[in-house]
Amino acid sequence: MNSRNHASWQKRILLFLTSQCITLFGSTLVQMALIWYAAMETASGTWVAAFTLCSYLPQFLTSFLGGAWADRYPGKVLIIGADALTASATLFMALAMKHFPSEPALLRGLLVMSAVRSVGAGIQTPAVQAVIPRLVPADQLARYAFSDRLIGKLLIIYGLFTFFCVPAGYLAGLFVRRVFGETYWYLSGVELTGFAGMTAGGIVMSIWGGFRRRSRTLAASLFAFGLFALGMGLPTDFILYLILMLFYGIALTMAQTSLTTMLQENTAPAVQGRVFGLLSTMYAGFLPAGMAVFGPLADILPLRWVMAGSGLALMILAGIVIGSRQLRNV
């Protein structure tokens, strides 16, 4: 590849990823505000679970169609259309909030808005994932070799990973409110620290790249992720909790990067839209499933116990990756 072509694809992918980072940042702010509102106003794991279900279950159902569209229609049209849908729903709700007659009515309206935004995500996410390999030259990703069994295992691992990260990750706001107090400064600290950890994890992976065998990187990051999830349920000191959250975010990004790269390297270009549509489906399906289990469970058992149990499960999942003959050779 000559230097001109190399610079050309790098410019395209930089512009594309920058635009998606801006979109992701806005979506994260909205989702964070909704979870904060549910946690602070209700202090209920069930309400937090309800918001998460409305945020991800429609995405789970839409991802099947979104993945097929990503292979059939222009990615630019799908991404812009989905972005416009989510932005319109958010703007409409922002203007209508003051007209709701009661708090329960407002909560129900926010749930509907979350569901509409989730439909847009179900269309946009597989389109984005499918566009990236088309912008980057093949020799910058790897050789492609489609393997149904391998991809199936990776998708299942991703689903289980998403399911068990719910207590320490998506119920963090509820945990902070119950253990450290109901203040938005604490919640802001948790979100910023988690974001810093994920950013640091991305930097680590971009510089280091992981072990030669990506399965070793995946297993190591899953084990660390589970260990920090277990540890986050133990401290009574908020600073120590934030330190654990930082490393939790690093391990999270490393696990996601390893798994996504393994899928990109082992999926034929012609079906990448559908495969990454399935990846989005696993995320959008296992996350609400995890919330449906762990949210109400957090109203019955101490959330510390729930977090510790999920951490142990993630460490076991790391052992399964190491023990799988098919995965450990990748």
Of 215 and 4, more confident: 215
Q: What is the sign, positive or negative, of the torsion defined by CA atoms of 12, 14, 15, 18?
A: positive
What is the average pLDDT value for the chain, to the nearest integer?
A: 80
Sign of the Cα torsion 308, 309, 310, 311 reads positive
Q: Output the CA–CA distances (angstroms, integers) from residue 148 to 154, 188, 301, in the order listed.
A: 10, 42, 39
Q: CA 42 to CA 91: how far, in whole Å? A: 24
Q: How do residues 14-71 score in pLDDT, each as one tens digit?
A: 677 677 767 766 776 677 677 777 777 777 777 777 887 887 788 778 877 777 787 7
Instruction: Output the pLDDT for position 134.
Output: 67
Give alpha helix (H) positions in 43-74: 45-72
Evaluate if residue 243 carries a pLDDT over 50: yes
Closest C-alpha among 291, 323, 275 to residue 126: 275
CA dist., res. 113 & res. 200, Å (int): 32
CB 277 within 8 A of CB 121: no
Closest CA to 187 of 24, 290, 33, 299: 33
Model pTM greater than 0.85? no
pLDDT, tens digit, for every residue of 173-191? 888 888 887 677 887 888 8
Whether the per-residue pLDDT at 141 is higher than 70: the answer is no
CB-CB contact of 241 with 235 (8 Å):
yes
Taking residues 229-251, report their average pLDDT.
91
**Cβ atoms within 10 Å of 70's Cβ, excluding its own:** 29
- Rounded Cα distance, 91 and 197, in Å: 30
DSSP 237: S
